[in-house]
Amino acid sequence: MTRADTSHTPMYKQIIAMVLLAVLIQLWFSLGSTSTWTRFLHNTAYNFSLILPIWLGNKFIAERLNRHISWLQEPGKRLVMSVMAMLIFSTVIFLLINFVVFVLIKGNDSSIVTSKGFKNMMLFQVGITAVITFIMYSLSFFHNWRNLAVNEEKLKREQLNAQYESLKAQVNPHFLFNSLNALTSLVETDQKLAVKFIRKLSEVYRYVLESRQKEVVPLTEELAFLDSYIYLQKIRHGEALQVENKLPQSSNLMVPPLALQMLLENAIKHNVALDEEPLNVCLYLQDDYLVVQNNVQERRIREESTGTGLANIEERYNYLTTKQVQVQRTGQEFIVKLPILYFKDDAGTDS
């Protein structure tokens, strides 16, 4: 009489399924009997009156437990809590409905609820519900466990793609050409600054290589890398690029590697940056999100965008947390909000 998850099934389909289940149950109990059609319909309606609240209650309980106990992180606890909650709920519902049907509607004395026949009927109904509940929640667990394996493999592919895109972004001819041009000018005019430029460039490459195998990194490490990347871009753009970093140097906040760099690179790639019209990028914390915001100054000749950078970030966050990456665009601003990930010694990350 239960279902483990009906959250994505249209209500009319759920009602049809409940009616069919009520009919099938009555057909089963009517095998070999000589009951009339009227009695068959009455019993089917009785079955439906039991199935409907149990079905909806199961859905409600599953939705509430989803918010607090993960199938993937605590499967045993989730299964026990789900079955116990449904048994308690089912017992109360069966008692109320049977009291209404047998006492208030059929006119039996209220003492019937203490009779052996009534107790056996209740025990049978609760027992059937317990068995079906256990089966359905077990199937739900294995379904989610299988999805986890698929998502892990998908994340590996996304990480490989992120590594490729990040390395390509750092080593593509345009970036390398611009970096060498800037370095050549610095060597001729300011050798100390040229040495610092080379050091920052090596830090960028080192971080890309060291972080490529990681799902998440501490925000402090990502910000240190981002400082080096911003330094290289500032040498090229000067005052035309203004980056304001208000993110906290917190050791317990995590972020997918290169996520912030991808967003900054995206802003530089698609917008004009001039001394008189600077590109302003701001990074800050808002509610439960890391926010990257820039003013929109679109280039007249747009560079072709594959969209893989932002899509890759969204896919990685879909694996790491139930919260979604939020993208907002107006005529003046482009904003991307990344859900905060918290560090846990015993569980990696949690949102």
Question: In this structure, what token pair is assigned to residue 255?
Answer: 């972020």
Query: Do residues 89 and 29 both lie within one domain?
Result: yes
129 & 189 share domain: no
One domain for residues 189 and 108 = no
Question: What mean pLDDT comes out for the span 299-316?
Answer: 70
With the CA atoms of 287, 290, 294 and 299 taken in that order, what torsion angle do they form, in degrees rounded to the nearest 10?
-140
Residues 217, 269 within the same domain: yes
At residue 34, the pLDDT reads 58
pLDDT at 5: 46
Q: The whole model's pTM is what?
A: 0.52
How many folded domains does the chain comprise?
Answer: 2
Residue type, 40: F
Residues ≥6 apart with Cβ < 8 Å to 242: 278, 279, 280, 281
> Do 88 and 32 fall within a single domain?
yes
180 & 118 share domain: no
**pLDDT at residue 308, as a whole number:** 57
CA-to-CA dists, residue 326 to 40, 101, 260, 281, 291, angstroms: 54, 51, 14, 17, 9
Q: Is residue 3 part of a domain?
A: no
Alpha helices in 69-190, H assignment, sequence order: 75-99, 116-171, 173-189
156: in domain: no
Residue matched to tokens 């899509």: 311
Q: Please indicate, yes or no, whether residues 111 and 186 belong to a single structural domain of this protein.
A: no
Q: Which of the residue ranges 12-26, 45-59, 112-126, 261-275 has the most confident prediction, judged by mean pLDDT?
A: 261-275
Residues 81, 65: Cα–Cα separation, whole Å: 8
| CATH code at position 200 | 3.30.565
186 in the same domain as 92: no
Per-residue pLDDT reduced to its tens digit, 13-25: 767 776 787 677 6
The whole-number average pLDDT for the span 31-57 is 76
In a domain, 1, yes or no: no
What would the mean pLDDT of 239-245 be, rounded to a whole number?
A: 94
Domain that holds residue 97: 11-150
